Structure 1
Amino acid sequence: MNLSYTFNEPSRLTLALTHPSAALEPGVVEHNQRLEFLGDAVVQLVVTQWLYEMRPGWKEGDLTRARQRLVNARTLARFADVWGLGEALRVGKGERTAGAPLTVNVRADAFEAVMGAVYLDGGLAAAHAVLVPLLEPVLEAIATLGDPRSALLEWCQAGKHPTPAYVVLGSEGPAHALVFSVTVEVAGQVYGPATGRSKRDAMAEAARVALAGLGLPVAGALE
Structure 2
Amino acid sequence: MDVLEERFGIRFKNRELIKIALTHSSAGLGISNERLEFLGDSVLQLVVSRHLYRRAPSLDEGELTKLRARFVNKNTLAQVALRAHLDDLLTLGDSLKKPGEAPQLSILADAYEALIGAIYLDRGMKMAQRFVRFTLLREVSNIKFERDFKSELQEKVIKTFRCYPNYRLLKADGPQHAKRFRVEVKVNGRGFGIGEGRSRKEAEKEAAKKALLSWKSLKGRQQGR
2:55, 2:62 → 1: CA distance?
15
Task: Give the structure 2 partner of residue 8 of structure 1.
Answer: 13
Deviation by residue 1:41-83 (Cα, 9 ceiling, x = unmatched): 1111111111111222222222111100110001111111122
Which amino acid counterpart does residue 7 of structure 1 have in structure 2?
A: F
Deviation at 1:142, TM superposition (A): 5.8
Task: Give the structure 1 partner of residue 63 of structure 2.
Answer: 62
Question: Secondary structure of the equivalent of 1:5?
Answer: coil
Deviation at 1:141, TM superposition (A): 6.3
Q: Which has the higher contact order (CA 8 A, sep 6+)?
A: 1
Relative to structure 1, the CA distance from residue 101 to residue 142 in structure 2 (aligned partners, 3 Å threshold; closer, same or farther) is: farther
Question: Secondary structure of the equivalent of 2:8?
Answer: coil
Structure 1 unaligned spans of 5+: 145-149, 151-223
Task: Please state if 1:125 is matched with 2:130.
Answer: no
Q: Alignment identity in percent?
A: 38
What does residue range 97-116 of structure 1 map to in structure 2 within 5 Å? 97-116=98-117
1:56, 1:6 → 2: CA distance?
35
Relative to structure 1, the CA distance from residue 136 to residue 43 in structure 2 (aligned partners, 3 Å threshold; closer, same or farther) is: closer
Contact 1:66 1:143 survives alignment (8 Å): no
Alignment root-mean-square deviation, CA: 2.2
Contact 1:4 1:130 survives alignment (8 Å): no
2:23 counterpart (18, 27, 50): 18
Task: Give the structure 2 partner of residue 134 of structure 1.
Answer: 135
Contact 2:78 2:105 survives alignment (8 Å): yes
Contact 2:84 2:135 survives alignment (8 Å): no
Task: Give the structure 2 partner of residue 213 of structure 1.
Answer: none
Question: Secondary structure of the equivalent of 2:95?
Answer: coil
Structure 2 unaligned spans of 5+: 146-150, 152-225
1:61, 1:73 → 2: CA distance?
20
Task: Give the structure 2 partner of residue 82 of structure 1.
Answer: 83
2:67, 2:11 → 1: CA distance?
30
Task: Give the structure 2 partner of residue 155 of structure 1.
Answer: none
Which amino acid counterpart does residue 14 of structure 1 have in structure 2?
A: K
* TM-score between both structures, scaled by the size of structure 2: 0.59
Larger Rg, first or second structure (1 or 2) = 2
Contact 2:48 2:137 survives alignment (8 Å): no
Which amino acid counterpart does residue 120 of structure 1 have in structure 2?
A: L
Deviation by residue 1:154-194 (Cα, 9 ceiling, x = unmatched): xxxxxxxxxxxxxxxxxxxxxxxxxxxxxxxxxxxxxxxxx
Deviation by residue 1:82-140 (Cα, 9 ceiling, x = unmatched): 22111100001111111111111010000011011001011111110100123333225
Relative to structure 1, the CA distance from residue 58 to residue 139 in structure 2 (aligned partners, 3 Å threshold; closer, same or farther) is: same
Contact 2:75 2:105 survives alignment (8 Å): yes
1:97, 1:107 → 2: CA distance?
14
1:62, 1:134 → 2: CA distance?
23
Which amino acid counterpart does residue 67 of structure 1 have in structure 2?
A: R
Relative to structure 1, the CA distance from residue 16 to residue 60 in structure 2 (aligned partners, 3 Å threshold; closer, same or farther) is: same
Contact 1:76 1:107 survives alignment (8 Å): yes
Contact 1:36 1:112 survives alignment (8 Å): yes
1:143, 1:134 → 2: CA distance?
20
Aligned residues: 143
Contact 1:39 1:114 survives alignment (8 Å): yes
What does residue range 91-102 of structure 1 map to in structure 2 within 5 Å? 91-102=92-103
Question: Secondary structure of the equivalent of 1:94?
Answer: helix
